[in-house]
């Protein structure tokens, strides 16, 4: 269900939105809704990315398991080229070095 929200926009921004919206065959309203939707989705993906990084960091601190950058790059390049690739072997970093 949609609800009404009012936005106070500077006149110059409102004019730009109107011009750009008409240029892509949208109403200014549809243009703004799409822009806000894209921004929200981008910020959600960014939050998920950062959370995944924090989880990976915590897992490393807990286990000490990492992978060689060289091995990972080689693995990804082979996969991207459509070739069979063995997964990189993990390396355990001693607790004192974490």
Q: Where are the domains of the chain?
A: 14-63, 64-98
DSSP type of residue 7: -
Q: What is the pLDDT of residue 14?
A: 97
**The CA-based dihedral angle spanning residues 73, 78, 80, 86, taken in that order and rounded to the nearest 10 degrees:** -80
CA 77 to chain centre: 21
- Which stretches does DSSP call E strand in 28-79? 65-66
The radius of gyration of the chain from alpha carbons, rounded to an integer in Å, stands at: 23
| Three-state secondary structure call for residue 92 | strand
Is 0.75 surpassed by the pTM of this model? no
Confidence of residue 1 (pLDDT cuts 50, 70, 90): confident
Round to whole Å and give the CA distance between 46 and 18.
29
Task: Write the pLDDT tens digit of every residue in 40-91.
Answer: 999 999 999 999 999 999 999 999 999 999 999 999 999 999 999 999 999 9
């Amino acid at each position: 269900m949609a609800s009404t929200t009012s936005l106070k926009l500077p006149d110059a921004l409102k004019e730009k939105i109107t011009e750009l919206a008409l240029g892509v065959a949208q109403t200014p309203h549809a243009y703004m809704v799409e822009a806000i939707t894209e921004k929200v989705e981008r910020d959600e993906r960014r939050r998920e990315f950062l959370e995944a990084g924090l989880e990976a960091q915590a897992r490393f601190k807990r286990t000490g398991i990492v992978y060689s950058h060289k091995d990972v790059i080689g693995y990804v390049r082979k996969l991207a080229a459509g070739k069979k690739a063995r997964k990189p072997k993990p390396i355990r970093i001693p607790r004192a070095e974490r």
